Structure 1
Amino acid sequence: MKSVKKVLAIMMAVGGLMLSPLIVQEASASSQTYTVNPGDSLWKISNEFNVQLDELRSLNHVWEHIEPEQELTIPNSPNKHTIEKGETLWRIAQNYDTTVTELKKANNLDSDLIYAEDTMCIPTKLEKSVSTTKTVTRKSSSDQRISVSDYERQLMAHAVYSEARSEPYEGQVAVASVIINRVRDDRWPNNVEGVIFEPWAFSPVHDGTFWLQPNQTAYDAVDDALNGWDPSQEAVFFYNPVTSTSNWIFSRTTITQIGQHVFAY
């Protein structure tokens, strides 16, 4: 009886040794390591590798600010996406660095109509696929929607912090995007300073809170907006429907709501 127990113990020990490499290999095949470059943000990295921003945050226990040379675990690009309320094909395509045409082709769609909770197939980019754990680096993106000076970037961070410091990060990026969208719109001045200091455009400019010292999150939000992330979906107005006293602003066409702010055009 004792000899049988010894044999079973040896078999279990050997089996455990044989299974361990398989488990490690599987974990390796599901992710890779990325070294953060100067100018990177979580959004830029998630967009580059076609992964969900929330998944990247959760996997690395990092929510906003990252530092150069910091190592992040990058999950393999997903093949499926569950549609969230308010999402459009264009927004999903932007999140996964693909096109509406490719999305429709991959999902046999004849129109742009999609429904929340449905699952979509995401076209896989072969050049971004990985099968083993490795360290990768990437050049900083130069695909900026507008070019700004350091001073203008500071002004945008002040605007984001004074207008949206209590809002979710996506909402802070959206506020920065509204400034950019106005710069690109002929109805507003064609520079950041002119847009921000246009009379009565931003209430914190008039009540003095605009000059509060912005935190790093505000700067990160500005950088993400400058690099192309527009959660506002090209809005040129935003307001808090609870505190707003302007009847005119309620006549604007609503695009989306993030946190307490409604974004409109």
Structure 2
Amino acid sequence: MNFSGRFTRVLKRMIVVGLMFLCALAFTGPVQAEEGLNTHEVKQGDTLYKIGMKYGVSVQQIQAMNDMYGTMIYPGQELILPVTLEEWEEDLLARLVEAEAKGESYAGKVAVATVVLNRVESPLFPDSLYGVIYQSRQFEPVDNGHINDPASHTSRQAVEEALSFQGFDGGSLFFYNPDKVSSAYHNDREVTVVIGNHVFSK
């Protein structure tokens, strides 16, 4: 085989390997989340308005997420951003809310969704919605299979409201029904709100 033929075969092999690598990147599952996905490092010329427009969130939410009372920011500052979800993630969260808060008020459904979003932001939990929901032994509907039941319109609305509510809640990371669960682990935590049968805490 001449040099030209060998070169062509090597080139084709390199292209195939490269395509396989790109496909592997493209089809990585949702379990892994990018580091720093919900933060923004302020650049020269940034304003809260520009940052809000870039990520599709309000200035008020950015301020609430970062305990800010004004609009002054500076280059190099790391801002925490509200969690934004893709369509499949909203559906997953709505199904969890439907199963966890069935029979609870609309406010209770919003609070359950908010707890999950707060966990995505918290260093104590996985940094993706999928990771938070499927973390071992955290949510009963995942264990009993009810996570796969379809969500109601009300649960979907509750998720939308929870997304807009980020930063304005009490930072709840846990919820439980004291009639069903009795644990010192929950009793030692600061209660943020009680809605219906659920006690929310952080």
* TM-score under structure 2 length normalisation: 0.57
Aligned to 2:13: none
- Give ranges in structure 2 of 5+ residues lacking alignment: 1-63, 70-80
Give the 3-state SS of the residue equivalent to 2:142 in structure 1: helix
Within the candidate set 153, 158, 176, 2:95 is matched to: 158
Q: Deviations over 1:156-196 (max 9, x none)?
A: 00110000021110110000000010001011111100000
Equivalenced residues, count: 126
Within the candidate set 175, 184, 188, 2:121 is matched to: 184
Aligned to 1:175: 112
1:204–1:231 Cα change, 3 Å: farther
Q: Alpha-carbon deviation of 1:247?
A: 3.3
1:212–1:181 Cα change, 3 Å: same
RMSD (Å) for aligned C-alpha atoms: 2.2
The amino acid across from 1:246 in the alignment is S
Aligned to 1:259: 196
* Structure 1 CA distance for aligned equivalents of residues 125 and 166 of structure 2: 21
* Percent identity for Structure 1 against Structure 2: 34
Query: Is the Cα contact below 8 Å between 1:178 and 1:232 reproduced in 2?
Result: no
* TM-score under structure 1 length normalisation: 0.44
Q: Deviations over 1:127-183 (max 9, x none)?
A: xxxxxxxxxxxxxxxxx8211111111110011000002111011000000001000
Q: Which consecutive segments of 4 or more residues in structure 1 shift more than 6 A? A: none
Aligned to 1:241: 178
1:229–1:188 Cα change, 3 Å: closer
Q: Deviations over 1:221-257 (max 9, x none)?
A: 0000111267852100000000014332222211110
The amino acid across from 1:247 in the alignment is A
Is 1:205 equivalent to 2:142 in the alignment? yes
- Give ranges in structure 1 of 5+ residues lacking alignment: 1-93, 101-143
Within the candidate set 43, 64, 86, 1:149 is matched to: 86
Residue pairs, 1:20-59, within 5 angstroms: none
* Structure 1 CA distance for aligned equivalents of residues 112 and 133 of structure 2: 11
